[in-house]
Amino acid sequence: MENIKIRLQLHQEWLNNSGGKQLDIENEEFSNITLKDENLNTSIFYNTKFESSIFRNLNLGGSSFFNCTFSAVNFEKSFLRKCEFHQCKFINCNFSEDEITKAEFYDTSMEFCAFNKIKFGWSYFGDCFISDTTFSVIELDSLAFIDSKFINVGFEEAKFNIKYPVKINDQLNIIDIDQLKIAIED
């Protein structure tokens, strides 16, 4: 844990243009860690595993994740705007009161996850697999799922925007929960 604290400090210095080094983590595993109130803006992660951890009030905006695994990770009140996830796996993760706007997910799987009170506007999911996952009280402005597969996925109290509808695979202009449920079943 001491090693990560040093790298977080160096990243803060880098963000403040006072030396330091951008956070760039590769081929590491983190288990049972709690990261809170940290600015990890524009960090880069390759082949990194996070297990049984808590990310509370983190700024991960603009960060990139390549072939990363998140298992039993709780994201609480975190900022993931403009994050990119490539070939990542989310297993048994909880997202609560996070902003995940303009995020991009490519060839990513989400299994047994829960999203509650999330801002998802303008996010893109391409060739993703989502199963046994719930989305509750979420904002869906212009959300797009393209070439994605859904198994046992539930949406509750989704907030739609008529001007900026949802797109799921070949179904366009989804503006209510009934249309959404039909689209994920196809």
pTM metric for this prediction: 0.95
Instruction: Please report the pLDDT score of residue 108 as a whole number.
Output: 98
Question: How high is the pLDDT of residue 170?
Answer: 86
Residue listed under structure tokens 């797009």: 144
CB 75 within 8 A of CB 55: yes
Mean pLDDT for the chain? 95
pLDDT tens for residues 152-161?
Answer: 999 999 999 9
- Rounded distance between C-alpha atoms, residue 148 and residue 45, angstroms: 24
The Cα-based distances of 58 to 41, 67, 74 in angstroms read: 9, 20, 11
Q: pLDDT tens, 40-72? A: 999 999 999 999 999 999 999 999 999 999 999
- For residues 107 and 85, the answer to whether their CB atoms sit within 8 Å is no
Taking the C-alpha atoms of residue 29 and residue 93, their distance in angstroms, rounded to an integer, is: 16
